[in-house]
Amino acid sequence: MNASWSRFNIASIVLGFAFLYLPIVLLVIFSFNESKLVTVWTGFSTKWYVSLFNNTSLMDAAWVTARVGVLSATFATILGTMAALALTRYTRFRGRVLFSGMVFAPLVMPEVITGLSLLLLFVAIGFDRGFMTVTLAHITFSMCFVAVVVQSRLMTFDRSLEEAAMDLGATPVKTFFQITLPVIMPAIVSGWMLAFTLSLDDLVIASFTSGPGATTLPMKIYSQVRLGVTPEINAVCTLLIGVVAMGVIIASLVNKRREVQRVRDEQAAQRG
């Protein structure tokens, strides 16, 4: 139908996506390389994955990362949802400008500054660095991303749903838990996923705020990358990419199916 989708448009998309995906594809391919050299293909092998699972320090780091991710994503989702509610529901309160500034600024703040400032805070209050401090830091910066995601959903939220619930006798608290929360749940879930991935991927802030015994996977990868490129790192990276990609793809497939179902239902409703 779209005749104006010219050859130039198609070419720029194809080249653009090649640029975005080729490096990742190559990285995945060479994680199955037989040779210790990452750039010369000698044959297919999964031995780097085997050695990976025998690398206990790497496995420990993965476990730390997973725990930090789940914990920080959960708290960030709660706080971020609250912040989004505050921003959309209360158009005027004292200090709102500062508040919205603090919510939006971390989105673009260089990580080195966020990391450094949090570290200095923990030192100043005498908080031992470790698992807790990394988690607190991750909650702080990812809650702002959650807030933005949830806020954009809340802005299209039909307030008359809440009024209808109250009109039918539900108290404000009941209304929130029975109506508002279920309706914005998809946004909250994707906020959680975003927060989890941000925590999973973060190197800089974790490096500043972490302490002994709380080395995260990105920190571990970084220290090994500095020593050189190895297929083992390729294998870790491949697994990480696999986990995240799987999550995102499943989520979007579920969404897509729901969407298709909804469209079909609506068409059926129009007919019948």
Partner 1 sequence: MSTATLTSSNAPAPADVKPTLLNALTSRLVIIVPYVWLVLFFLVPFLIVFKISLSQTAIAMPPYAPTFTLGDGIAAFFSNLRQLSFENYLWLTEDALYFNAYVSSVVIAGISTFLALLIGFPIAYGMARAPLTIRPLLLMLVILPFWTSFLIRVYAWIGILKPEGLLNQFLIWTGLIDQPLIILNTHSAIFIGIVYSYLPFMVLPLYSTLEKMDFSLIEAAQDLGCTPTRAFWKITFPLALPGVVAGCLLVFIPATGEFVIPDLLGGSQTLMIGKTLWNEFFSNRDWPVSSAVAVILLLLLVVPIMIFQQAQAKAQEQGR
Partner 2 sequence: MKSLGSIRRSFAPWTDPSAKPYIVFENVTKKFGDFTAVNNLSLTIYEKEFFALLGASGCGKSTLLRMLAGFDEPTSGRILLDGQDMRGIPPYRRPVNMMFQSYALFPHMTVEQNIAFGLKQEGMPKAEIDRRVADMLKLVKLEQFAKRKPHQLSGGQRQRVALARSVAKRPKVLLLDEPLGALDKKLREETQFELMDLQQNLGLTFVVVTHDQEEAMTMADRIAILDKGEVMQVATPAEVYEAPASRFVAGFVGNVNMFEGKVAARDDHTARITGASGAEIVVENAGDAVAGDTVAFAIRPEKIKVTSRRPEEAVNAMEGEVFDLAYLGDMTVYYVKLSDGQMVKASALNSARITEDALSWNDRAWISFKPDAGVVLTR
What residues line the site for partner 2 (CB under 8 A)? Answer: 158, 160-161, 163-172, 174, 178-179, 182-183, 262, 265-266, 268-270, 272
Using the rule CB under 8 A, give the single segment among 21-29, 55-63, 66-74, 260-268 that binds partner 1.
21-29
The CA distance from 128 to 106, in Å, is 24
Nearer to partner 1, 89 or 264 (CB): 89
Shortest CB 272 distance to partner 1, Å? 26
Shortest CB 94 distance to partner 1, Å? 5
What's the token pair of residue 165?
């619930």
DSSP 33: B
The CA distance from 258 to 247, in Å, is 17
Shortest CB 265 distance to partner 2, Å? 4
CA–CA distance from 124 to each of 59, 113, 114, 189, 256 (Å)?
32, 16, 15, 35, 49
CA–CA distance from 95 to each of 15, 99, 174, 244 (Å)?
47, 6, 28, 38
The CA distance from 214 to 212, in Å, is 6
Site for partner 1 in 43-72 (CB under 8 A): none
Asked whether position 143 contacts partner 1 by CB under 8 A, the answer is: yes
State which of residues 73, 147, 195, 214 lies at the interface with partner 1 (CB under 8 A). 147
User: Smallest Cα–Cα separation from 100: which of 111, 113, 87, 91?
Assistant: 87
Site for partner 1 in 69-88 (CB under 8 A): 79-80, 82-83, 85-88
Asked whether position 160 contacts partner 1 by CB under 8 A, the answer is: no
Site for partner 1 in 100-139 (CB under 8 A): 100-106, 108-113, 116-118, 120-121, 123-124, 136-137, 139
Other Cβ atoms within 10 Å of 193 Cβ, number: 18
Other Cβ atoms within 10 Å of 207 Cβ, number: 19
Nearer to partner 1, 97 or 272 (CB): 97
Nearer to partner 2, 39 or 171 (CB): 171
What's the token pair of residue 49?
């994955």
The CA distance from 24 to 249, in Å, is 16
Shortest CB 272 distance to partner 2, Å? 7
Nearer to partner 2, 164 or 245 (CB): 164
Shortest CB 194 distance to partner 2, Å? 22
Number of residues that bind partner 1 (CB under 8 A): 99
Contact 146, 80 (CB under 8 A): yes
Bridge partners for 44 per DSSP: 33
Cα angle 189, 192, 197; round to 5: 130
Asked whether position 232 contacts partner 1 by CB under 8 A, the answer is: no
